Amino acid sequence: MRRTGAQIVWEMLEREGVEVVFGFPGGAIMHTYHPLQEYNIRHILVRHEQGAAHAADGYARASGRVGVAMATSGPGATNLVTGIATAMMDSSPIVCITGQVSVPVIGSDAFQETDITGVTLPITKHNYLVTDVNDLAYVIYEAFYIARSGRPGPVLIDLPKNVQQAETDFVAPQEKVRLPGYRPVGPGDPELVGQAANLINAAQRPVILAGHGVLMSGAMEMLKAFVEKTRTPVALTLLGKGGFPESHPLALGMMGMHGEAFVNQAIQEADLLLAFGMRFDDRVTGKLERYAPQARKVHVDMDAAELNKVVPVDVAIQGDLHQVLEQLLPLLEPISHQEWLEQIDHWQSETQARDIVNQSSNGHVVGPQAVHAIWEATGGEAIMVTDVGQNQMWAAQYYHIDQPHPLITSGGLGTMGFGLPAAIGAQVARPDEEVWAIVGDGGFQMTAQELGTVIQEQLPLRIALFNNSYLGMVRQWQEFFYDRRYEATHLVNPDFVRLVEAYGIRGWRVTDPEDTRQAIAEARSHPGPAFIEFRVAQAGKDGNVYPMVPAGAALHEMIRRPTD
């Protein structure tokens, strides 16, 4: 079979089961676009390549499959960079295909030439510059394998124009991928698993720290079995949400900088931390020197580079979490931990008394109350995507997830502008599910052009914009830690409802908290895309994210929510 490089791209994507590519064309990738009509792959034209990378990422997180983004050389490729870095930090499997100038002119500053493999070297799991069309099929095959296996991540394939044009005999790769030094892990070392079991059986005050790895390794049921046998409470990281049902009596909720105080307190007082598929990000540890000082620590992660990286542990097990839990379970003795759980309940009741959802709103629309209303209306069953900032933290705190699907949010990189395009990807991946994006007025304006994509693809997305006319999270830090100097955080905004209406999207504006439920109900029953602008409180008790661990403080030294 004679095929051009361009045809091989689509042949191989079809073979990898790719149904959709998010992209934006240009000179150096036009040859690849040309034969697209001959293949059974949907192309979604975004408005900016950053949107393509985030959409591929959102697609990957919502589907568990590899997301694909395509862009031209130079500015097209560099526009992908933020999305690639976002996917890298959150271990999201995407493959990005970029056009490149022809091989003979590489290095000559040809028109729209950027060394994108050089640029993305530290933010991809792997990348390729393909200089020979005979290598192309295997490179794509290997790229998908690398993206989805082991600890997933982004892979970039840079494809010079003459390689797209060149012809060769196409043979689909059949052999197993073999990469020296790259071995996605299986079970843990039985000796270490035994040591972990001894610590677990001896613990009086254990806490599980459940991270993204629980979902990624499909260990949700195993974790539940572990928790129920050992009556060990579970704290979740931001990306761990969905790995353990939040309505479970042993679910504590989110830990860390904006975790509830009782959760952080439990971690600080624990005598054993079981870190399952998480990486001790500084947002979850607070000051390291004073992190969980009495606790022995067991860490299970598939990536050896995470073990003993920031928190030295007593037992470090490299392995696939699902398999390690399977090994551990028969070694564990049933325990009730009655006293410990009662202690945590006591701390929790004090937190509940401060919960904003139970407080009067003083006439403001209050972010957490709006999230709570969306959670109630959807039964927590919608796929929730967030942007970054206060909106993100309120969504994490108040949108409880019981199903094994993630909160789709930029955790590691904290990328403003992620929300809308990632929600597009999630909606494309799950066309029959209700998908919500919660965004702030700042981050929304970083990628708002993707409203055009929403309309062109007629995606029934629900967007909740929390408008506080500020870069809210930064304004909050200025209020708490920078003498209330509100430098460079006030935003003069457009009329957002008119903006979305200009795109042909139905919009609602909520200024009175009494209208919250009605607007959500109307937006949910609207057949096409729907947008609600909530004019939320700008500051103070109703406008800040509580509780909060100040940067540099220990995890339990939280700024607590003021009470009425």
According to CB under 6 A, which one of 120, 127, 386, 415 is a site residue for ligand TPP? 415
According to CB under 6 A, which one of 332, 357, 474, 497 is a site residue for ligand TPP? 474
Rounded to the nearest 5 degrees, what angle is found at the Cα of 200, between the Cα atoms of 199 and 201? 95
Q: Give the pairing of strands 2-4 and 167-169.
A: antiparallel
441 touches ligand TPP (CB under 6 A): yes
| Phi and psi angles of residue 276, each rounded to the nearest 5 degrees, phi first | -110, 105
Rounded to a whole number of angstroms, the minimum distance from the CB of residue 366 to ligand TPP is 13
**Can you give the three-state secondary structure of 62-128, one letter per residue?**
HHCCCEEEEECCCHHHHCCHHHHHHHHHCCCCEEEEEEECCHHHCCCCCCCCCCHHHHHHHHCCEEE
Whole-number Cα distances in Å, 227 to 19, 235, 260, 274, 341:
38, 11, 20, 11, 13
Distance CA 134, CA 356 (A): 61
440 touches ligand TPP (CB under 6 A): yes
Q: What is the DSSP letter of 289?
A: G
423 touches ligand TPP (CB under 6 A): no
Which residue, 154 or 414, is less far from ligand TPP as judged by CB?
414
Which residue, 389 or 513, is less far from ligand TPP as judged by CB?
389
Rounded to a whole number of angstroms, the minimum distance from the CB of residue 496 to ligand TPP is 12
Which residue, 361 or 390, is less far from ligand TPP as judged by CB?
390
Place of tokens 């030439």: 113
160 touches ligand TPP (CB under 6 A): no
Provide the annotated active-site residues. Answer: 49, 111-112, 161, 473
251 touches ligand TPP (CB under 6 A): no
466 touches ligand TPP (CB under 6 A): yes
According to CB under 6 A, which one of 385, 416, 519, 530 is a site residue for ligand TPP? 416
Q: Which helix (H) or strand (E) holds 282?
A: helix 282-285
According to CB under 6 A, which one of 472, 513, 529, 547 is a site residue for ligand TPP? 472
According to CB under 6 A, which one of 242, 253, 443, 547 is a site residue for ligand TPP? 443
409 touches ligand TPP (CB under 6 A): no
Residue 509's Cα: distance from chain center in Å? 28
Distance CA 60, CA 261 (A): 33
Distance CA 58, CA 87 (A): 9
Segment interacting with ligand TPP (CB under 6 A) among 190-198, 427-435, 441-449, 523-531: 441-449
Rounded to a whole number of angstroms, the minimum distance from the CB of residue 13 to ligand TPP is 30
Which residue, 133 or 371, is less far from ligand TPP as judged by CB?
371
Rounded to a whole number of angstroms, the minimum distance from the CB of residue 541 to ligand TPP is 16
Helix, strand, or coil (residue 252): strand
Rounded to a whole number of angstroms, the minimum distance from the CB of residue 395 to ligand TPP is 10
Q: Is 128 left (phi over 0), alpha (psi -120 to 50) or beta?
A: beta
Which residue, 10 or 398, is less far from ligand TPP as judged by CB?
398
Burial environment of residue 204 by CB neighbours within 10 A (0 to 12, 13 to 18, 19 or more): exposed
Distance CA 278, CA 292 (A): 16
Distance CA 389, CA 383 (A): 19
Q: Which helix (H) or strand (E) holds 299?
A: strand 296-301
Which residue, 291 or 546, is less far from ligand TPP as judged by CB?
546
Which residue, 268 or 445, is less far from ligand TPP as judged by CB?
445
Rounded to a whole number of angstroms, the minimum distance from the CB of residue 387 to ligand TPP is 6
Rounded to a whole number of angstroms, the minimum distance from the CB of residue 523 to ligand TPP is 19
Binding-residue total with ligand TPP (CB under 6 A): 20
473 touches ligand TPP (CB under 6 A): yes
According to CB under 6 A, which one of 471, 499, 520, 548 is a site residue for ligand TPP? 471
Which residue, 236 or 438, is less far from ligand TPP as judged by CB?
438
According to CB under 6 A, which one of 93, 211, 213, 414 is a site residue for ligand TPP? 414
Cis peptide leading into 406, omega within 30 of 0?
no
Which residue, 414 or 421, is less far from ligand TPP as judged by CB?
414
Q: Which of residues 348-407 bind ligand TPP (CB under 6 A)?
A: 387-391
300 touches ligand TPP (CB under 6 A): no
According to CB under 6 A, which one of 468, 478, 516, 544 is a site residue for ligand TPP? 468
Rounded to a whole number of angstroms, the minimum distance from the CB of residue 538 to ligand TPP is 9
83 touches ligand TPP (CB under 6 A): no
Radius of gyration for the alpha carbons in the chain, expressed in angstroms and rounded: 24
CB contact at 8 A, 104 and 162: yes
519 touches ligand TPP (CB under 6 A): no
Maximum separation of any 2 CA atoms in the chain, in Å: 74
The closest alpha carbon to 449, from 420, 408, 469, 409, belongs to 420
According to CB under 6 A, which one of 442, 507, 513, 529 is a site residue for ligand TPP? 442
Residues binding ligand TPP (CB under 6 A): 387-391, 414-417, 440-443, 466, 468, 470-474
